[in-house]
Amino acid sequence: MTELASGSTSQRELASESTSQRNTESITVTVNGHAYTADCEPRVTLADFLRHTCGLTGTHLGCEHGVCGACTILVDGRSARACLMLAVQADGATITTVEGLAAGNALNPLQEAFWDNHGLQCGFCTPGMLMTATELLADNPDPDAAEVREGLSGNLCRCTGYDSIVRSVLDAAQRMRG
């Protein structure tokens, strides 16, 4: 073990000092109808904030590069990759996660359609697919299969081959139109 020269600072002291000097910002977001206010470091992603600070683990982290879509959420009604967005950027925003789709214990029509049409297998991509499809159906309540495929093209699924997912979204669109 190497001894430190007199007057030098140990690694442990440096780590403690940097921890005590961390810059944090207070943010307030409304997630699924509930207000959350917390201090967080500016470098914390929105995905980590949702999972660790809010306890909402439905937002999945796959690639952490914005490629897979597993972390897709709605920020002020528009889809966003929670792994690419910093929590401080969401200050004042209204956020919807997959946990906010159901009304209590009752699944919404999109979730029911995924269940009925086997639109999921392992379930890892499902939250991102549901959130992307939620925005798609809000923008286009009567899409055809090609429009659904295009709308979901930024979300990756390694299990289903997408046919059951497309069927699920089309079924949900029909249910929602009545």
Last residue of one domain, picked from the residues 54, 82, 100: 100
Apex 88 CA angle, 134 and 97, nearest 5: 20
Residue 1 in domain: no
- Structural domain includes residue 75: yes
Structure tokens at 130: 């549901």
Q: Which of 38, 68, 100 is the last residue of a domain?
A: 100
| Residue-wise pLDDT tens digits, 103-115 | 999 999 999 999 9
Look at residue 30 in the predicted model and tell me its pLDDT: 98
Indicate if 83 and 128 belong to the same structural domain: no
Flag whether pLDDT at 130 surpasses 70: yes
Same domain, 66 and 91: yes
Residue 16 lies in a domain: no
* DSSP single-letter state for residue 145: H
Q: What's the CA gap between 50 and 162, in Å, rounded?
A: 27
**Which residue is listed with tokens 């923008």?**
139
pTM listed for this prediction: 0.87
Q: Do 88 and 128 sit in the same domain of this protein?
A: no
Q: Can you give the CATH number for the domain in which 122 is found? A: 1.10.150.120
Q: Which pLDDT score, from 0 to 100, does residue 176 have?
A: 97
Residue 94 shares a structural domain with residue 113: no
- Are the C-beta atoms of residues 57 and 73 closer than 8 Å to each other? no
Looking at residue 161, what is its pLDDT?
Answer: 85
Residue from 64, 155, 158 nearest 169 by CA: 155
Total domains in the fold of the chain: 2
pLDDT tens for each residue of 25-63? 999 999 999 999 999 999 999 999 999 999 999 999 999
3-state secondary structure of 10: coil
Domain that holds residue 124: 109-177
